[in-house]
Structure formats: C-alpha cells, structure tokens
Amino acid sequence: MDADAPIVIGGGGGSGTRVVAAVLLRLGIHLGNDRNSAEDNLLFTLLFKRPRWFARAELREFDRAIATFKRGMLRGCSPGDVPVLLGGARDMLLHNDEYTVPRRVLWTLRRLRAAFRRPRHAGQAPGWGWKEPNSHIYLEHLARRFPRMRYIHVMRHGLDMAYSANQAQLRNWGSLYGIEHDSGGSPAARALQFWIRSNQVAMRKAEQLLGARFLVVRFDDLCDRPRAEIRRLCDFVGVTVNEEELDRLAALPQPPASRGRYRDRDLANFDDASIAAVEALGFPVAQARREAAA
C-alpha cells in the first residue's frame, strides 16, 4: 500500500457514507480495525472530532495528529504518540455532550487501547483509507500531509437532510460557516444552510486541492443507479470487479424509509435562494415545490 495515498470518505452525517464504506470494505480496502456500526473510523473521531481544538490548534499540531493517525492505521501507535492521543481523550471526556460521562470514559479507553494494536491484514489490502463524515472539515490539512490522497464526498438531498435528527455537524462546526445551531428561526432552515455551505466549501476545496483525485457520490443516484455508480466508485479507487461481483455490490444500497421525507413538509421554511442552491448541487426540487403548493 502507498502510505501517502489513502482513500478518504467524508460528507454530512447521515448522508450515506456508510454504504460507500461498505462497498470499499467488500473491495478489500483497509478502513481501520476500530470502527463502529456505521463504519466510522473511531481513531479519526478521537483525534479530530474536536471543534475547540480545531479552532485553536497550530499547523504543527494538526500535522502531529495526522502523523499519529497514520501510524495507528498502518502499524499501530507508538509510545511517542501518547501525548497526541491523550489530547484527544481529554477533549472527548470534557466536551463531548453526545454521551453520558460513564459512556465517554468507556468509549475513550477502548479507543486508546485499540490505537496501539497492530492492524490486521493491512499489508495485504489493495489500498487503505477511512470513512468518517467529519473528514471534509480537514481537507486542507489532509491534502498537505497525503500528497496522493483520494477523497470521496457523499451527499444526500439537502431537503431530506434539513429534516434529519442527525445535526451533530451543525452543532460542532456550524460556526465555521457563520451558522449557530441554537440561533433563532426555523431549525430546518438552519440545517439546510449548513448543508449548502458545508458542501459548497468541501467541493470547492476538493476540486482545487485534488482535481481528478476527488469524487462526488450522491446517495440518491447510488440508490437509483447502483450498478453504474458502484462501477464509477470502483474505477475511482482502482479496483476491477467482474459482473458477478458488481451484482453483489449493487445490492448494498437500500433506499431508507426517510428518503424523500421533505415532500411531506412545508417548503415555505426555505427561501428561493436556498432551493436554487440545492438544485445547483445536483438535487432537483422543482417537482416537490409544485406538490407542496398544490
């Protein structure tokens, strides 16, 4: 494996990154051994899901964290990585309000223990990388440290995402885009603004930094045209599959019951500029607007 050429999967929380990770895992790509049921790489979560640290960290701190992560992924962390790991552990214990304190402690101890384990079968994999939705926040730092990285940005229809209960990224990173999760107005409108701005920024940065090493996967397309989209994904990661393997992979995307939930909601929550931005990012809305107005 090329240590400087990871395949990174990022996007909004609940956008379909899990399905893309499942495809890469079936292709034999090493995505780390410490993952949760959504296939999130939990060493990345420990080190980088840290809004307060992100706001104050200097360039050398980002680089040290990425170096620790790379070691943990490819051969297991070393004693020299302890200060970086403990920094992530401290922030998890003090600031992660998604879990109760006992669960934070248990979760953090498990991550620290797993970080020092030698990865299983990593040397035999055709490639390596990780899936963690928050990766898009760190694109500039990752591209600087991994000169041949490839990035897959997964998007789901913005109006569906506006009504999702999963708004962790808005809470953690909204201020980067001038949006506060607890400000006035419609929660759905704030969520949509975050979806628009975060995806616009991620795509602009990825195009500038990575060029042809950047791929957008729209979850809706993956559900509607799984064979074509998965073949495109396989081509991007450089793994050849036969027709039988492609059939098996095409069975992985399953449209959730929540797909298209925005069609039953009042689109008056969103202004025309927001609707236009959703359409510009590749998600048609005109028919839904006609249905809502009927």
**Digit-coded pLDDT (tens) for 43-53:** 999 999 999 99
| pLDDT band at 237; cut points 50, 70, 90 | very high
For residues 88, 198, 213, 22, the Cα torsion angle rounded to the nearest 10 degrees is: 70
What's the rounded Cα separation, in Å, for the pair 285 and 86? 46
CA distance 122 to 153: 23
Q: Kindly report, residue by residue over 272-283, the tens digit of the pLDDT.
A: 999 999 999 999
No. of helices (H) and no. of strands (E), the chain: 15, 4
Q: How sure is the predictor about 121, in pLDDT bands with cuts at 50, 70 and 90?
A: low
pLDDT value at residue 173 = 95
At 224, the pLDDT band (50, 70, 90 cuts) reads very high
Residue type, 69: F
> In angstroms, rounded to a whole number, what is the distance separating the alpha carbons of residues 122 and 29?
9
Instruction: Output the pLDDT for position 184.
Output: 67
- The answer to whether residue 180 scores a pLDDT higher than 90 is no
In the predicted model, what is the mean pLDDT of residues 232-253? 95
pLDDT above 50 (res 179): yes
Q: Which CATH number describes the domain made up of 7-293?
A: 3.40.50
pLDDT tens digit sequence for 55-76: 999 999 999 999 999 999 999 9
Here the tokens at position 224 are 């509607």
Q: Where do the domains of the chain lie? A: 7-293
High-pLDDT (> 90) share of the chain, %: 80
The sign of the dihedral angle between the CA atoms of 211, 212, 214, 217 is positive
pLDDT band, very low/low/confident/very high, at 293 (cuts 50, 70, 90): very low
Phi, psi angle pair for 202, to nearest 5°: -60, -45
Give pTM, 2 decimals.
Answer: 0.94
